[in-house]
Every structure is written in C-alpha cells, then in structure tokens.
Amino acid sequence: MFLTLVRRDLALIARSPALWMPVMFFVMVAALFPFAVGPDARLLGRIAPGVVWVAALLAALLPVETLVAPDLEDGTLDQLASRGVAMEIVAAARIVAHWLGFTVPLLAALPIAAILVGMDVATGQRLALALLIGTPALAALAVVAAALTAGLRGGGALAGLIILPLALPILIFGVGAAVPGALKLLAAASLVAVAIAPFAAAAAMKQD
Amino acid sequence: MPPVSAEPLVATDLACRRGDRLLFENLSFQVEPGGALHLEGPNGSGKSSLLRLLAGLLTPAGGSIAGGGARGFLGHDVALKPRMRLIAELSHWARFDYGIDRLPAAMAAMNVIALADLPCQHLSSGQRRRAGLARVLASGADLWLLDEPTAGLDTASAALLATAMAAHRAAGGMIVTAVHGDIGLADPQRLRLG
C-alpha cells in the first residue's frame, strides 16, 4: 500500500508542469550569486556550499502548495481515509515521493551549480553527500508545513515561515560538512525530522 | 459483488457537532444487508456530515457506529487528478481495493469505458460523477455512502445508477444516500434530518 502511494505520487509529480521548476530555480540561484558578490574566486569558493544549501532549501519549498492542498480539496484524502488508510502512511509516502522528486534532479544539477559558483571537485562530492543526507529532512519539513497550511489562502508564504527556522539545524550541519562530525550531526537532525514529520503532518491532515 | 456476510449497519444515539453548531443528536437507525437508507432534509441539516461520520471521516460527538463492513464513499469531490487519464485514476483506486478484476464491469455499468483514455480535466461534471460511481462499484465495498449521487447525471446515467444500486442490494450490499427527490431506490427506509 505504501509503495502504491509512493508510485502514485511520483506519477503525479512526473506529470506536473512544475517538475523542473525547483531545479531551474536551484541553478538560477547558484548562477546569481557570482553576479551578486563579484568574481572573487576565493570568496566564492568559501561561500559556495552555503549558497548551494540555501538554493536547495528554497527549491524544496517551491512546490509546497501542491504537496497536500490539492488532495484535501479534491477529496483524495477522504477517499484514502474512508478506506481506512492511516494519514501517517499517506504523509510518509508523500515525503518519500517529494524527496525523490526534488533530490534526484537536484543532484543531477549539482555539477552545473558547482561550476557556476566555482567549487572544486572534492568540496562538490562532500556537498553531494551532505545534500543526500540532509534533503530528506527538507522534504519532511515541507510536507509538514504543506499539511499545516493546506486550505489556507496564501498558505505557501506561511509554509515558508514555518519551515525556514526548523530547517536551521540542517543548514548549519549541512554547510559545515567539512568539519569532522558535522555529517553525523546532520544525519541525526535529518533522522529526527523524518521520524517526527509523518505524525505531525497526519495530525494536521485529519479533519474534524 | 459484495460478500453477503456483511454485518448490519447500526448507529446508536449519534450526535454530530460542526464548530459550535449541533447538527443532530440522539440519531439511531439500522440498515440490514440488502437495505437502503434515504437521508432527507433541507440544506445544512447534516446529511453530508452523517455520511462522513459513517465513512469514518468525522468522529461523532456522541453515540456509536457499528457494522456495515467496508465503505465505498462518494462525496461532492470526486478525487480525480486533472492530468491523469481516467483509466489510470480508476486503476489506482481499484488496486487499493484489490478490485482490479471488478473494474471493467464497474466501468461498463456506469458507461465510462469510452472515456477511459481521456485526461480527467476534459471530463464533464456528469462524466466525473459517473467515474466516481464506477470507483464505488469497483471497490467491492459492502456499504455505499453516496452524497447526491445523481447531481449532474442525465436520465440515462441515473437509470444506470438505479440498476447498479439494485444489483448491489440484491447481492446483500447496503446503501446510505443523501438526495433531494427520488433516485430509483426500491422501497428505502427514510430518515429525516433537521
């Protein structure tokens, strides 16, 4: 059942016209930074991981309005609930699908972004690993915020305000991936977020 | 077709509160296998809320609901994704209900086979409703909970629905429906709200 839900969510993401938007956004942000801070290669190299992380965070946030709200409005959640499917499972499946839907293209676009901000290969590889560990948490937080704001007008902006402070630990440990032990802390923070998120999102998705 | 072994649906002293408003209380009824219950009452009297209670989508403010077997719910929203083809949507839900082998018959019964390859965004509201009903038919649920099932249906489609409901009851299934007017249910129990 879980796999059916994930497959279905991925099929919907694949059909969505907004599929490439987060990745385009990610690359655009990475491309903008050299213009903004100037062509100082040393400075760019130093802030590059931070730039990529912020871009990834924003990319995870971009589709937040389409994560839960449409299912609430068109009766999909009703259909699932009337079949006795736990909302926790629905939320967990949504997190997995959202993560796959934005991380895979993101990692594919990472080399391009890395070149744009002048990152060397070793840093790029470390960053890819950190992204792989940290992005599940971003997906989880996005789904929680989407569930909390579903049905509200202008929910997307509010979702951003909910996620950004919660994403701080991920950002801090993700950017500091070069420091020994940071990856482990990143993994811990990510695990906590992913473990709690399905329950938090489900509590918001249950209507009464 | 539903199993004949379904327990009767028994509601005891149900109460439903939406916000501050008490919609109804002390509502008791029973629907036997093969039976049908017709909910009547003015707009806002709690017909849809009662169906949602029975479907497990709301928690009653009081009382209890027992029996009735598996639910097939069709509300106002038909839950069809605009960009997906109809057959993909119905197959998805049928897989959920382990009813993929029942799907062709259900689609034929509601006359949606010709629409199978259309994206759902191109369906009219009557066609979407027929598709939603086909999903209920294919679910193999014992208890059909239909909220205004004939809304937007033409007479031919309404007759198809009446035939399908009669077959469901003949096989021991139960139906609870909220409608204004007659939808071709033979000899239903009636429950007036509001």
Express each pLDDT in B88-119 by its tens digit: 999 999 988 888 999 999 999 999 999 999 99
Q: Which residues of B touch A (CB under 8 A)?
A: 52, 55-59, 70-73, 75-81, 83-84, 88, 92-93, 95-97, 135, 139, 145
The conformation of residue A39, written as its DSSP 8-state character, comes to S
Query: What is the mean pLDDT of the segment spanning B27-48?
Result: 91
Structure tokens at B120: 């759902």
User: Which H or E element spans position B190?
Assistant: strand B189-192
Q: What is the pLDDT along chain A (208 residues), one digit of tens a residue?
A: 888 899 999 989 888 877 788 888 888 888 888 888 887 888 888 888 888 898 889 888 888 888 999 999 999 999 999 998 999 999 999 999 999 988 988 999 999 888 888 888 888 999 999 999 999 999 999 999 999 998 888 788 888 898 999 999 999 999 988 888 899 999 999 999 999 999 999 999 886 6
- Global pTM reads 0.90
Structure tokens at A203: 């509590």
Average pLDDT, chain B: 90
pLDDT in tens, B71-88: 999 998 889 999 899 999
User: Which H or E element spans position B11?
Assistant: strand B9-18
Q: How many CA atoms lie within 13 A of A144 on its CB side?
A: 20
Query: How close A21 comes to chain B (CA, Å)?
Result: 18
ipTM of the complex in this document: 0.90
Length of chain A: 208
Whether A83 and B96 lie within 8 Å, measured CB to CB: yes
